[in-house]
Amino acid sequence: MSLTRRKLLGAGAAMAGVAALGGWALWTGTAGESPLLLSARNDDAGQHYAVGYYLNGKRAFATPVAERCHAVARHPFLPVALYVGRRPARESYLIDLRDGRLLQTLHSQPDRHFYGHAVFHARGEWLYTTENDTREPGRGVLGRYRLDQASLRLTHDGEAATHGVGPHELAWMPDGESLVIGNGGIRTEGGSREEMNLDAMAPSLVIMSRHGELISKETLADAQSSIRHLDVAADGTVITGQQYHGPAYNSVPLLAIKRPGEAYQPFPVSRAQLAMMDQYTASIAIHSEQRQVAMTAPRGNRFFIWDLDSGDTLLDTPMSDCAGVGAVPGGFAVTSGQGKCRYYDSRTAEVQSQWLELPGGWWDNHLWLS
Amino acid sequence: MRALIVLVSVSLSMLLTACSNPRQEVTVQLANEVLLPAHQQWRDSNAALVDAVETYCAAPQASADDLETAFYQAQSRWSHLQPLMVGPLSEGNRSWQVQFWPDKRNMVVRQTESLLDEADPLTRAQLEKASVVVQGLTAFEYVLFDESVALADSRGRYCPLLTGIAGHQLALSESVLALWNEPGGMLAQLRDFPNERYATADEGLAAILRTQITGVDVLKKKLGTPMGRLNQGVVQPYQAEAWRSRQSIENLQASLQGAQAVWERVRSLVSDAALVKDIDQAYAAVANQLAALPAPLMVLVQEPAHRETLATLYAALDNLENRQQTELARNLNIQIGFNANDGD
């Protein structure tokens, strides 16, 4: 059941009340321990950090790093995570989550730069990253790195093609052996962020084995919709978020879904909601238990939660420069580049909100909750 | 429980107001005395435009003078509002419906004429379904001022479009005002904190300043584009905003006044007297130079003798933007942008 604006405003008043009471009232975490939120963050002076904060506001660490990072890949069982350099970064940072110590600065290979996302394989030995081949600009590369679990060092081991141009986010399919990758379709060159082919983009959604074999490659109707961010539900449903590079006043789908065994297609979102996104989607998070998908639209300053199966809207609310979003028990935690972070309890149709006691602003686009 | 929570919220917000937080006071003043009135005046100018179109189109011999005046006023109110459009008008692609600029490929002319060729006479429903390119003031301006349109002799063709656009603008402005005034709407969100949109008054104030600073940046684009700054120095007179009505400079002045109205309220929060003086002078420099321009912008950019004058004006706008974006933001500890301006 979707919320009407009126009901939402009513809920908003209640949210304000809960927040004013100042408590960690709605959600207390599991086993009395608050989850750890990992993210890239800046400070007012522009210094970049790899940070870890408990959702109750307690800082675990804030480690200064040279390059701005984008997403975080948490190791499946060791207390380490790779903070991945934002494109066209040449560095990523392996951090000890117990104290924030920088264990290793991982340098990209010659003629390669990082594209901001990476994942660890479940057995803990391999890390995969999306990268750009700067000799053949835009050719998507899946970088493969081996983690020595004794010395906690990553070593480049090889690479495969992502079967597309300008890969961005990647995630494991439920088998844990195949990856889904959003090939954004945009060619960038050398150390630049400038898009070189907006009139000839070639975005694609690829599912491939981690060893490189292509399993499927699908596209959307509009070639100027760059497929960038995604998440995978426990049942293998994939949701992607697009960024549209055509005219600002056009209305094109900005979310798409690939259900198991079905074709990749637009996720049903109303034109009014699309217009609120300013052609730009950032983070996607699926809550598998609650069968919900959340998305941040930082240019439109808008945050959404939909029912994954029916497409019904659960939440459509203003949130300044909303950045990373992750599923937590009962709902979603959302960071902001400009304002306070929030927790949304979406267990019932009347979504409740709570301000988090995290520092406000300067949070980068993605977070990892564990 | 719900009633109790809401009551607690209300009493806390009253308490906060009573505590006299200067930033919250300024935010509330801006909302009540600057932002909302600017939206109201924009709405009123659209109502006057509706009346003027009706009068013009009802009388076959009527001159277009009153209609032109009403158009100038609506365009001026919209210009004034642009640095102030926090919230609903800046969302949902609404502002594209007011004005289609920049129009790099002259889409307004092609789409307006082709729409009128297909739908003769045009109905309001057809206009509502059409592209934003033909729903706003830019299409209205084309019909009213372009030399290729013989409006007086073609009222049957163009009056339904003028009536439709004016009606669309009025409906749009009334719907935006409703979103400001409704319970829990934009006005309340800039008054009672925390709320659905902002955790604190500081967040609301930051949003207002970001919008205002973006508005000053848009002024630079409106001046710089016809000067050829985006075109390797080759002037583009027909890329000036409002070149057909020759109102580019008047619109820049109206926008500057909108931006300055925010600064006038924010000034009291700035702790650095020298910075206050610098920003006051930066506004005055831009205003004085705009007032001294001797001809419409599309004419000036084509005359080499005025290049230096325009370059000096551009530099003055750039100085104003930098003072606010860096020094003012730092002084007030307000964050101007992060992911929204530089995403991935």
Q: Tell me the chain A residues in contact with residue B5 when contact means C-beta distances shorter than 8 Å.
A: 13-14, 17-18, 21
Q: How far is B124 from chain A (nearest CA, A)?
A: 20
Q: What order do you get walking across the sheet with A167-172 strand by strand?
A: A167-172, A178-183, A204-209, A214-218
Q: Tell me the chain A residues in contact with residue B132 when contact means C-beta distances shorter than 8 Å.
A: 249
Can you give the pLDDT at residue B205? 96
Residue B197 pLDDT greater than 50, yes or no:
yes
∠A173-A175-A178 over CA atoms, to 5°? 55
Q: What order do you get walking across the sheet with A265-266 strand by strand?
A: A225-232, A238-244, A255-258, A265-266
Q: Which residue of A3, A7, A9 is the best one to mutate when testing the B interface, meaning the one whose CB has the most B CBs within 10 A?
A: A9
Task: Report how far residue B144's alpha carbon sits from residue B134's, in angstroms, rounded to the nearest whole number.
Answer: 13
The answer to whether the bond into A318 is cis (omega within 30° of 0) is: no
User: Can you say whether residue A125 is alpha, beta or left, with left for phi > 0 and alpha for psi between -120 and 50 degrees?
Assistant: alpha
Q: Provide the residue type at A284 as one letter.
A: I
Q: Is B19 on the interface with A (CB under 8 A)?
A: no
Residue A174 pLDDT greater than 90, yes or no:
yes
Residue A16 pLDDT greater than 90, yes or no:
no
Confidence of residue A33 (pLDDT cuts 50, 70, 90): confident
Please name which of A154, A99, A86 lies closest in space to residue A124, comparing C-alpha atoms. Answer: A154
Q: Is B8 on the interface with A (CB under 8 A)?
A: yes
Q: Which residue of A21, A277, A338, A348 is the best one to mutate when testing the B interface, meaning the one whose CB has the most B CBs within 10 A?
A: A338
Contact: A361, B9; criterion CB under 8 Å: no
Can you give the pLDDT at residue B120? 81
User: A26 vs A56, A303, A326, B99, CA distance in Å?
Assistant: 12, 19, 17, 45
Q: How far is A243 from chain B (nearest CA, A)?
A: 9
- Mean pLDDT score of chain A, rounded to an integer? 91
In chain A, how many H helices and how many E strands?
2, 28
Contact: A248, B93; criterion CB under 8 Å: yes
Can you give the pLDDT at residue B6? 37
Contact: B343, A299; criterion CB under 8 Å: yes
Can you give the pLDDT at residue B4? 36
Q: Which of B5, B93, B184 sits opposite A9 (nearest CB)?
A: B184
Q: Which of A13, A299, A301 sits opposite B6 (nearest CB)?
A: A13
Q: How far is A148 from chain B (nearest CA, A)?
A: 31
Average pLDDT over residues A295-311: 97
Q: Tell me the chain B residues in contact with residue A21 when contact means C-beta distances shorter than 8 Å.
A: 5, 8
**Proportion of chain A in helix, strand, coil states, percent, rounded to 5:** 5, 50, 45
Contact: A320, B131; criterion CB under 8 Å: no
Residue B15 pLDDT greater than 90, yes or no:
no
Average pLDDT over residues A182-207: 93
Can you give the pLDDT at residue B19? 55
Q: Could you read off the pLDDT of B165-190 as tens digits, one per residue?
A: 999 999 999 999 999 999 999 999 99
Q: How far is A355 from chain B (nearest CA, A)?
A: 7
Contact: A19, B183; criterion CB under 8 Å: no
Can you give the pLDDT at residue B100? 96
Interhelix angle B307-322/B273-292, nearest 10 degrees: 150
Q: Could you read off the pLDDT of B95-143 as tens digits, one per residue?
A: 999 999 999 999 999 999 999 999 989 999 999 999 999 999 999 999 9
Q: Is A347 helix (H, G, I), strand (E, B) or coil?
A: coil
Contact: B5, A18; criterion CB under 8 Å: yes
Residue A9 pLDDT greater than 60, yes or no:
no
- Mean pLDDT score of chain B, rounded to an integer? 93
Of chain A, the percentage scoring pLDDT greater than 70 comes to: 91
Residue B2 pLDDT greater than 70, yes or no:
no
Q: Which residue of A6, A68, A87, A320 is the best one to mutate when testing the B interface, meaning the one whose CB has the most B CBs within 10 A?
A: A320
Contact: B338, A86; criterion CB under 8 Å: no
Q: How far is B329 from chain A (nearest CA, A)?
A: 11
Q: Which residue of B221, B339, B341, B342 is the best one to mutate when testing the A interface, meaning the one whose CB has the most A CBs within 10 A?
A: B339
For B99, which residue in chain A has the nearest alpha carbon? Answer: A249
Can you give the pLDDT at residue B341? 61
Confidence of residue B279 (pLDDT cuts 50, 70, 90): very high
Q: Which of B12, B340, B344 sits opposite A87 (nearest CB)?
A: B344
Q: Tell me the chain B residues in contact with residue A12 when contact means C-beta distances shorter than 8 Å.
A: 184, 195-196
User: A335 vs A173, A233, B89, CA distance in Å?
Assistant: 26, 21, 25
Q: Which residues are CB-neighbours of A177 under 8 A, at least 6 positions away? A: A209, A210
Q: Tell me the chain B residues in contact with residue A302 when contact means C-beta distances shorter than 8 Å.
A: 91
Burial tier of B73 (Cβ tally within 10 Å: 0-12, 13-18, 19+): middle
Confidence of residue A107 (pLDDT cuts 50, 70, 90): very high
Can you give the pLDDT at residue B340? 60
Average pLDDT over residues A49-66: 96
Residue A7 pLDDT greater than 60, yes or no:
no
Can you give the pLDDT at residue A24? 35
Q: Is B198 on the interface with A (CB under 8 A)?
A: yes
Taking chain A, what is the end-to-end CA distance rounded to the nearest angstrom?
30
Q: Which of B12, B199, B337 sits opposite A339 (nearest CB)?
A: B199
**What domains appear along chain A, each with residue ranges and CATH number?**
1-60+317-370 (no CATH), 66-281 (2.130.10.10)
- Please, what sign has the CA dihedral across residues B206, A247, A315, B176? positive
Q: Could you read off the pLDDT of A126-167 as tens digits, one per residue?
A: 999 999 999 998 899 999 999 999 999 999 999 999 999 999
Q: Provide the residue type at A304 as one letter.
A: F
**What domains appear along chain B, each with residue ranges and CATH number?**
21-189 (1.20.1420.20), 201-332 (1.20.120)
Q: Could you read off the pLDDT of A234-250 as tens digits, one per residue?
A: 999 999 999 999 998 89
Q: Tell me the chain A residues in contact with residue B85 when contact means C-beta distances shorter than 8 Å.
A: none
Average pLDDT over residues A55-82: 96
Instruction: Dump the DSSP string for A288-330.
Output: TTTTEEEEEETTTTEEEEEETTT--EEEEEE-TTEEEEEEETT
Q: Is B337 on the interface with A (CB under 8 A)?
A: yes
ipTM of the complex: 0.87
**The two structure tokens encoding residue A179:** 């990856």
Can you give the pLDDT at residue A15? 39
Q: How far is B311 from chain A (nearest CA, A)?
A: 28
Residue B274 pLDDT greater than 60, yes or no:
yes
